[in-house]
Amino acid sequence: MIQFENLLSESSIRTLCALSAAESLTDTVAKEICELVPVEGIEAENFVRALRQCNFVIPRNNEWCFSSGMRAELRKMAGPRSESTAKAHKFLLDQSLQLREDLPSYLCTKAGQAYHSAAVGLVPESLELYSEIAKGPPSGEQWLASIFAEEQQEEHLLPGDAIEPAFLRGMTLYNEKDFEKAETYLRKVISSGRERVEVAIALHIVGTLEGRKGDYLEALKLFDRAVSLS
Amino acid sequence: MSTEKIRIDWRAQFGALQPFIDDAGGVVAVDYKGDPCAPNAFVTTLVSVHAQCSKQTQSSGKPRPGRAIIIDRSNYAARYLSELRGEFESCFEITLPSTAISGERLAPTIASNNTASGNQDIEVHLHFDAGSESMQSARRDSWIDSLCTQLKSVLKTHRVMIVLMHGTEHEQREFWDKLWHNRLRKLVDDGLLLVRMIDSSSEPGSNSNSLKIAPLKRTIHLPTFLDQEQQKAAREDLAAWIRETLSISHEMANAFAFSFVQTHADEINRLHNKVGFWMEELRAYMQEMQEKIQHDTV
């Protein structure tokens, strides 16, 4: 837990909250966000330089990010719809559509676009992107999208009855061979009762898992339901 | 925009690491107990120190700058081996054989005409249209082979470091089995350095397999607080940084450094979280003083 009151001014915290809208940052993009939501009395470049000294900043290859605890804390402090955070999300979404080489790489993925779309209220567009990612091959992007979608559903930026977050998470866990947790998420998808390919896939996978456990009748029931949807 | 991480103490640790950073290569472990040891600040400093030119030169007499890659499961681009390929390309400016398969979509074939009578075994396969396992394996082998060949060349002109962030052996299985064992390991004699960050405060897991295929040449430990000697070193580092950044006298820089280290020596994590912002406050303060002096003079 960072003791902000001892560490930073109110305006610095506002800027940090704006920066926490990004999953990952480059110095250039961080500076641009600091210019958008300025810190009183500190130039953007100097603020980024100061930030890079911190232990709550995790180095990545040519990028950096806040530690997950720090980012969660900042997002909680800001609230998903605060003005400074909203500005940062809009800026990041706009940048994701530009052909810039100095962007954090996640911004150039569908996961990044889906994340910032939902944050600015483009929910149907975001869900479509999340759904596309879920149907693609297993990848780091799919894992990232699953984290994003779950986070946004918890923050009520995505509707509570949207199946994409649970489907993404379930598929990622299944691909990582964490079958027990995967089943929990995929059963959530099944319980939606929707007539969608995601539900058919979830039925199929859970059926396979039931078969492995030896509950063949349950497995067959699930397979039959899957077939009726395909 | 320069955002170089300033080194504050860690002299014993960098002293022990220096031969490996310079040229020796090998596998070293950095053992720490959670955030109080400021492991992220340490890695940022390590990459910064490693990137600087060392005394070690190429046969042509040119210095050998360092290049590093950080492998961290919390980074989507470094979580799975398939994407790690791209990270290697950008960190070492190399081009590796593609692993892409055109038109990849999830296209499961779902069982049909199911009936149940008596005991039966059910085996159903999800078919992903992404080529057979052997083809995927061949593609993976191809880029990893190419990586090893190209890194061997890079090692002739650069020092190369891989930083493997903390994770259980299970989580890092792909790295150890597919990338390190019989592959990157062979480059240790060429000077490849692998730094393993090990958080000994987290859930203990077995490291026996990875230690067998990557025997440690050295383990260093990160402290949670600064003892008297470390405080002295931290004061010197900080004072030098203040002098360089703010162009002020030795005495003044020493006094500022003394007061900061004195009040933060008990928590290294807090020291690193605050030092950058403290420096900015100091900068603003010095600027204000200068303006006041100028105003009074006029």
Query: Domain spans of chain B?
Result: 11-97+127-221, 228-297
CA-CA distance, B280 to B2, in Å (whole number)? Answer: 15
Across-strand partners of B71?
Answer: B164
Question: Higher model confidence: residue B122 or residue B38?
Answer: B38
CATH number for the B11-97+127-221 domain, one of 3.40.190.80, 3.40.50.300, 3.40.50.360, 2.60.40.1220?
3.40.50.300
Tell if the CB–CB gap between B72 and A58 is shorter than 8 Å.
yes
Q: Is residue B222 a contact partner of residue B38, using CB atoms and an 8 Å limit?
A: yes
Q: Nearest CA to A58 among B258, B275, B42?
A: B42
Q: Nearest CA to A173 among A185, A160, A164?
A: A185
Question: Higher model confidence: residue A77 or residue A220?
Answer: A220
Torsion of CA A43, A49, A53, A55, to 10 degrees: 80
Tell me the residues of chain B between 100 and 139 that have a Cβ less than 8 Å away from chain A: 101, 104-106, 108, 110-112, 114-116, 119-124, 126, 128, 130
Mark A25-40 as b/e (b = at least 16 C-beta within 10 Å). Answer: bbbebbbbbbeebbbe
- pLDDT at residue number B214: 87
Place of tokens 């605050």: B274
Q: Is residue B35 a contact partner of residue B151, using CB atoms and an 8 Å limit?
A: no
- pLDDT at residue number B283: 87
Question: Higher model confidence: residue B99 or residue A70?
Answer: A70
- In this complex, which of B74, B78, B116 lies closest to A216 when CB atoms are compared? B116
Distance of CA B10 to the CA centre of its chain: 16
Ordered DSSP codes for A83-97: HHHHHHHHHHHHHHT
- In this complex, which of B6, B77, B279 lies closest to A105 when CB atoms are compared? B77
CA-CA distance, A74 to A71, in Å (whole number)? Answer: 5
Q: Cβ neighbours of residue B264 under 8 Å, at least 6 residues apart? A: B270, B271, B274, B275
Tell if the CB–CB gap between A51 and B276 is shorter than 8 Å.
yes
CA-CA distance, B121 to A216, in Å (whole number)? Answer: 8
Q: Nearest CA to B199 among B160, B159, B166, B174?
A: B166
Q: Which of B264, B280, B282, B285 to mutate to test the interface with A (most CBs of A within 10 A)?
A: B280
CA-CA distance, A154 to A168, in Å (whole number)? Answer: 14
Report the greatest alpha carbon distance in chain B.
Answer: 102
Tell if the CB–CB gap between A7 and B3 is shorter than 8 Å.
no
SS3 B7: coil
Q: Cβ neighbours of residue A214 under 8 Å, at least 6 residues apart? A: none
Tell me the backbone φ, ψ of residue B230, rounded to 5 degrees: -70, -35
Sign of CA dihedral B272, B276, B279, B284: negative
Tell me the residues of chain B between 205 and 234 that have a Cβ less than 8 Å away from chain A: none
Question: Higher model confidence: residue A163 or residue A11?
Answer: A163
Minimum CA–CA partner of B276 in chain A: A50
Q: What is the pLDDT of residues A107-147, one digit of tens each?
A: 999 999 999 999 999 999 999 999 999 988 889 999 999 99
Chain B residues in contact with A217 by the CB 8 A cut-off are 116
Q: What is the mean pLDDT of residues A214-223?
A: 91
Alpha helices per DSSP H over chain B: 11-19, 39-51, 76-79, 81-92, 133-157, 173-174, 208-213, 228-246, 250-264, 268-297
Tell if the CB–CB gap between A54 and B120 is shorter than 8 Å.
no
Q: Which of B3, B37, B199 to mutate to test the interface with A (most CBs of A within 10 A)?
A: B3
Q: Nearest CA to A52 among B44, B278, B25?
A: B44
Which sequence spans correspond to the domains of chain A? Answer: 1-85
Tell if the CB–CB gap between B284 and A60 is shorter than 8 Å.
no
Q: What is the pLDDT of residues A184-212, one digit of tens each?
A: 999 999 999 899 999 999 999 999 999 99
CA-CA distance, A184 to B258, in Å (whole number)? Answer: 55
Q: Cβ neighbours of residue A228 under 8 Å, at least 6 residues apart? A: none
Q: What is the pLDDT of residues B242-292, one digit of tens each?
A: 998 888 899 999 999 999 999 999 999 999 999 998 998 888 888 888 888
State whether residue B40 sits within 8 Å of chain A by CB. Answer: yes
State whether residue B172 sits within 8 Å of chain A by CB. Answer: no
Angle at which helix A140-154 crosses helix A110-119, to 10 degrees, equals: 10
Distances (CA, A) of A229 to A35, A196, A215, B42: 51, 7, 22, 53
Question: Higher model confidence: residue A207 or residue A13?
Answer: A207
Residue A158, Cβ density class (10 Å: 0-12 exposed, 13-18 middle, ≥19 buried): buried
Q: Is residue B79 a contact partner of residue B262, using CB atoms and an 8 Å limit?
A: no
pTM of the model: 0.88
- pLDDT at residue number B107: 46
- In this complex, which of B90, B116, B284 lies closest to A217 when CB atoms are compared? B116
Mark B175-206 as b/e (b = at least 16 C-beta within 10 Å). Answer: bbebbbbebbbebbeebbbbbbbbbeeeeeee
Chain A residues in contact with B43 by the CB 8 A cut-off are 58-59
Q: Say if residue B193's pLDDT is above 50.
A: yes
The distance of B224 to chain A (nearest Cα, Å) reads: 13
Distances (CA, A) of B146 to A52, B26, B178, B188: 34, 21, 13, 17
The distance of A136 to chain B (nearest Cα, Å) reads: 5
**What strand order describes the sheet that includes B159-164?**
B66-71, B159-164, B193-199, B26-32, B218-221
The distance of B93 to chain A (nearest Cα, Å) reads: 12
* For chain A, counts of helices (H) and of strands (E): 13, 2
State whether residue B285 sits within 8 Å of chain A by CB. Answer: no
Instruction: Return mean pLDDT, chain B.
Output: 86
CA-CA distance, B55 to A201, in Å (whole number)? Answer: 58
ipTM (interface pTM): 0.89
Chain B residues in contact with A8 by the CB 8 A cut-off are 277
- In this complex, which of B3, B105, B130 lies closest to A135 when CB atoms are compared? B105
Q: Which of B273, B275, B278 to mutate to test the interface with A (most CBs of A within 10 A)?
A: B273
Report the greatest alpha carbon distance in chain A.
Answer: 69
Q: What is the mean pLDDT of residues B150-179?
A: 93
- pLDDT at residue number A200: 93
Q: Report the topology of domain A1-85.
A: Arc Repressor Mutant, subunit A (1.10.10)
Tell if the CB–CB gap between A62 and B91 is shorter than 8 Å.
yes
Chain B residues in contact with A135 by the CB 8 A cut-off are 105-106
Q: Say if residue B93's pLDDT is above 70.
A: yes
CA-CA distance, A55 to B37, in Å (whole number)? Answer: 9
SS3 A158: coil
